[in-house]
Amino acid sequence: MRSLMSTLNKPLQVAVVGHTNAGKTSLLRTLLELREFGEVDQRPSTTRSVLAQGVWLEGEQILSFYDTPGLESGSELYTEIEGYADAHRHDGPAQIRAFLQSPSAETIYAQEAKVLRQLLQSDAAFYVIDCRDPVLPKYQDELQLLTRCGKPMLPVLNYTASTPNREQDWREALARLNLHAVVAFDTVSPPEGGEKYLLQSLATVIPAAEPVLTKLLQQRRQERERRFIGGIHSIAELLFEVASYHIRVPHELPEHELKQAAARLQQRIREREQKTVQELLGRFAFLPEDAVTAHLDIRTGTWQDDLFEPETLKAWSKDTGFGVGAGAAAGAGVDLMVGGLSLGLATALGAAAGGLYQSWRHLGEKVKQRWRGERELGVDAATLATIAGRQLFLLQQLSRRGHAATEAVEVAVDHRLSREQFSAIEKVLRPVLTETPDIDREKVIRKLEVLLQESL
């Protein structure tokens, strides 16, 4: 097979440069999909040395990215290097090399010297700009110095999703430096197709790299599709397994023991949902602290707003067709089932924490006469709709999230599946909920995957 590197003598070397705290490390985290690459902090000069990271494709290293320290003394250094202009007129790289041999390159400008040295050794550079900042003279001086290295440079406008920003001011300033190929790429909320445009722009300034970068983009697209499809599969498995959870209890079981049995079922459901949360985070290469703050404890990875707290599921069930009417579960989470027949949402027995089956004793004699032999506890439809809704929302957020994001994903309380949305899913799960014999697990899960995708 022909080598991917046949058009390049070595891996393409790209330096990532820019002012302190412009988002250089953040850009690389997002491009590399490595949440733990480097260190991101609001303090200046977090990156003190050059950090290298390779990118491999089909067993070959095709790229080397170099995260460089932030530039801080651009104007002072500009004045310093101007002293070499006469000796090396019209030769920017020679001016930079002369400076790098001077004592000041090892002392007062040591940080800037690391950047310039790496840029001279690289094939191209991304110049990262925090476009929330005004176009100050120090930034313009930095750009003048970097362009003297004689390497293709692609300005990357970061934080374009923030408002207000000065994107247009920066575009005009860059055009005055003959830098017209500019990419807007917010590292926290990458635009759809942003990575593709960024790498295609890089191929424009380094044509020999175009075949390799095109192949990389194809692989990245396939990986994203696999992650998303895998996430749908994980949620489908979660719904199948939770729907299959049943606890049988004797007919004459005291009420306090009935509460304990329901609590065991609730805990089992919590743990199974937590397993899916961790699967989704891992699938998209995120950390536990990147998960939902409003509903997920970042220290332990458990949902803070408990799935079975009455207020939590009331919020999720509101206006969805679940939990309305006298005696409704409204987030109770557990149905009482008798002989495989669910008493249903309209007569569910208040399984929420602190109110477990409090309405049980108030059911009419006609319903009580149905009870024979064992009672069975199983999850109700409102809870399944809630689990499906928030897991799908989490999947969507993780699939769009940049690995530079530092704020945890927050699941919106009003993101839920309505009764209409959930009806087809519930129909597919009905044999599982009622323990119909000889269920084809894989067939059910495949149907759930289709319905879950349709619900997005």
* Residue 182 in this model has a pLDDT that exceeds 60: yes
Mean pLDDT of the chain: 77
- CA 400 – CA 190 distance, rounded (Å): 7
- Which of the four pLDDT bands, split at 50, 70 and 90, describes residue 96? very high
Q: How far is CA 453 from CA 174, 389, 392, 456, in A?
A: 43, 12, 9, 5
Q: What's the rounded Cα separation, in Å, for the pair 374 and 80? A: 88
CB–CB of 147/153 below 8 Å? yes
> Residue 288 region, left (φ>0) first, then alpha (ψ -120 to 50), else beta?
alpha
pLDDT at 367 (0 to 100): 36
Residue 30 vs residues 260, 265, 380: alpha-carbon distances, Å: 46, 40, 40
- The pLDDT tens digits of the residues spanning 401-421 come to 776 566 666 655 556 687 888
State the SS3 of 119-132. HHHCCEEEEEEECC
195's enclosing H/E stretch is helix 194-205
Rounded Cα distance, 427 and 423, in Å: 6
CATH architecture for segment(s) 4-205: 3-Layer(aba) Sandwich (3.40)
94-108, 200-214, 262-276, 341-355: least confident range: 341-355
**In the numeric block, which tokens belong to residue 324?**
């309305």
**Cα 2 to Cα 89: distance, rounded to the nearest angstrom:** 44
Rounded Cα distance between 19 and 159, Å, is 14
The dihedral through the CA atoms of 249, 254, 260, 266 has a sign that is positive
pLDDT at 156 over 90: yes
Span 298-311, average pLDDT = 49
Indicate whether 319 pLDDT > 50: no
CB 96 within 8 A of CB 120: yes
- E-state strands within 232-300: 246-249
E-assigned strands of 223-300?
246-249
What's the pLDDT score for residue 333?
53
Select, from the ranges 30-34, 60-64, 444-448, the one with the highest average predicted confidence (pLDDT). Answer: 444-448
Cα–Cα distance, 399 to 263 (Å, whole number): 34
Strand-strand pairing, 153-158 and 124-130: parallel
What would the mean pLDDT of 367-376 be, rounded to a whole number? 51
- Give per-residue pLDDT as tens, 55-88: 888 888 899 999 999 888 888 988 988 888 888 8
Number of Cβ atoms within 10 Å of the Cβ of 273: 23
β-pair partners for 18 = 128
Confidence at residue 356, expressed as pLDDT on a 0 to 100 scale: 32
Q: What is the pLDDT of residues 377-391, one digit of tens each?
A: 888 887 888 889 889
Determine the 3-state secondary structure of 144 from DSSP. helix
How many Å is the maximal CA-CA distance in the chain? 103
pTM (2 d.p.): 0.75
If one counts every other C-beta atom within 10 angstroms of the C-beta of residue 189, the result is 16
Whether a cis peptide bond, with omega within 30° of 0, leads into 11 is: no
Beta-bridge partners for 53 = 65
Q: Is the pLDDT of residue 35 over 90?
A: no
Name the segment(s) of the chain with CATH classification 3.40.50.300. 4-205
Hey, what amino acid is at 350? G
pLDDT at 271: 86
- The predicted-structure confidence for 221-276, as pLDDT tens digits, reads as follows 899 899 999 999 999 999 999 999 988 777 777 878 877 888 888 888 888 988 99
pLDDT tens-digit readout, 110-139? 999 999 999 999 999 999 999 999 999 999
19: pLDDT strictly greater than 80: yes
Cα–Cα dist 40/46, whole Å = 7
